[in-house]
Structure 1
Amino acid sequence: TQKFSLYDNLSVMENLQFVAQIYGLTKRQSQQRIAQLLALYHLEDKQKVRAGALSGGQKQRLALAAATLHEPPLLLLDEPTSAVDPENRREFWERLFDLSDAGTTILVSTHYMDEAERCHGLAILELGQKRADASPQQLMRQLKASVFLLQGDNLRQLGKQLAPMSEVISTAQIGNTLRVLLAPALAEPQQWLQWQLPGTSLQRVEPNLEDVFVATTGVGYAKSAQN
């Protein structure tokens, strides 16, 4: 789960032994699996440490170890890497792919687009409705909206100028550029944008997964439907 749900006042080893008993593992099975998982998730030197004293990344590794003690065919993860630093997040996902290669089906909910892009298949949900469903690569290729990067002065003002227009799905400043997502109905999107912002340097770029999410949810979904 997103929130650490094991026992803070038990040690790493005690938590794993307790969960192993819940899953009905024999003493021998429990010893073997716990030893394997402690080594796999780099927790061997934390066996006697109380879970509440672990870092965020260590807690999530312990939680994953506990969830996979009985080698389940299906694993459900709810935003498992929130509040985890990039290095631990990358390591966590490497372990997920190990599980996937071993035959475990994994269903992950996440609001990080870089994580969603790692998945084999992706469904975007909003208000209980499925807005998109395909592989991340397919969703990016199939997006009919046009994406441009703008460079110039007063990017904040340019963004505010474009945002209310029905042809503009979204604007977002990224460093020294303004990323603009235009509705698919525009026959000549580059010419239209140049006409709106004469003298501004712009470059058409490939959509990313965040563009897909913005275009298929919220205001972006409404504008895409209108156009």
Structure 2
Amino acid sequence: MTPSNDKAIVVKNLEKRFGSFTAVDRISFEVERGEIFGFLGPNGSGKSTTIRMLCGILTPTSGEGYVAGRDIISQPETVKQAIGYMSQRFSLYEDLTPYENIRFYLGVYKVAPGRWKERIAWVLELTRLQAVRDVLTRTLPPGWRQRLSLGCALLHDPEILFLDEPTAGVDPITRRHFWDFIRRLAGDGITVFITTHYMDEARYCEKIVMLNEGRIVAADGPENIIQSACPGKKEATLDDAFVALMAGRGEQTP
């Protein structure tokens, strides 16, 4: 398989085994450029393992994958340069200010020093943190810290942004604002690959892949998944579809 220039991510028969345990079982899917793509499943379904392979952190057992046109097996370091990643757990330095965190990650991402002033100003404006740029990060509300994490993940102009449960533990209003932010990024052409356990959030995704026990059980738009998993149920929600699919009913192929 060769990478497709019009696809942000291409995965073919991707597999990861740990000894006799198969965490990801020959999955295949594609993500369009500029798309908000949802990757859903219960804990232990293989989501995190797949993301680690796509980010060039974990080597697949077999299969192929291309992220931003880079081979995840032979070019893992170039993959890392093309992506931004934000984990569920806050990973910035709480004893630094937002400004200091931004400066630190500019160095981590090897952004040219001549661009630092512009990138710092851009992130502070984007995250609406100018007024607290010199306040210790640990004193900021959770939603503000999440905005800072997202801003730092965007410092090096990544083509693809991986968000692993970015709104876990924040209030509904903050979640709504966060999704407004995500839609703005996608509108600017950044591909957003997101995992979430909130099905109301997943409805914002243009396409969803659902995993169960390492296998894809659904791959389509949210409305089509609901109709396929819950036929004849006009009031069915994505929560209902998720429960049905995770129980083993209505299995699909991508």
TM-score by length of structure 2 reads 0.62
| Residue of structure 2 in register with 1:76 after alignment | 162
Q: Deviations over 1:1-24 (max 9, x none)?
A: 100000011111000000011112
* Per-residue deviation, 1:146: 4.2
- 2:204 aligned residue: 118
Q: Return the match for 1:57 from 118, 143, 147.
A: 143
How many positions carry a matched residue from both structures?
A: 165
Per-residue CA deviations over 1:107-139 (Å, capped at 9, x if unaligned) read 101110011110011011111111111010211
Matched residue, 1:30 = 116
Amino acid at match of 1:25: V
Is it true that 1:21 corresponds to 2:107 in the alignment?
yes
Structure 1 residue 208 corresponds to structure 2 residue 244: no
Q: Which residue does the alignment assign to 1:104?
A: 190
Equivalent in the alignment of 1:136: 222
Tell me the SS of whatever aligns to 2:88.
coil
Secondary structure of 1:124's aligned partner: strand
Larger Rg: 1
What's the CA shift for 1:28? 3.2
Could you tell me how far apart the structure 2 residues matched to 1:217 and 1:57 are?
A: 30
Distance in 2 of aligned mates of 1:62 and 1:217:
34
Q: Which has the higher strand share?
A: 2
Q: Secondary structure at 1:106's aligned position in 2? A: strand
Q: Which runs of 5+ in 2 are unaligned?
A: 1-86
1:91 to 177, 180, 186: 177
What runs of 5+ residues in structure 1 fail to find an aligned partner?
Answer: 148-204
Question: What secondary structure sits across from 1:107 in the alignment?
Answer: strand
Q: Is the 8 A contact 1:143 1:207 kept in 2?
A: no
Return the structure number with greater relative CO, CA threshold 8 A, min gap 6. Answer: 2
Runs of 4+ deviating beyond 4 Å: none
User: Which amino acid is the alignment partner of residue 206 of structure 1?
Assistant: E
The structure with the largest helix share of the pair is 1
- What is the CA-CA distance between 1:142 and the residue it aligns to? 2.5
Identity %: 37
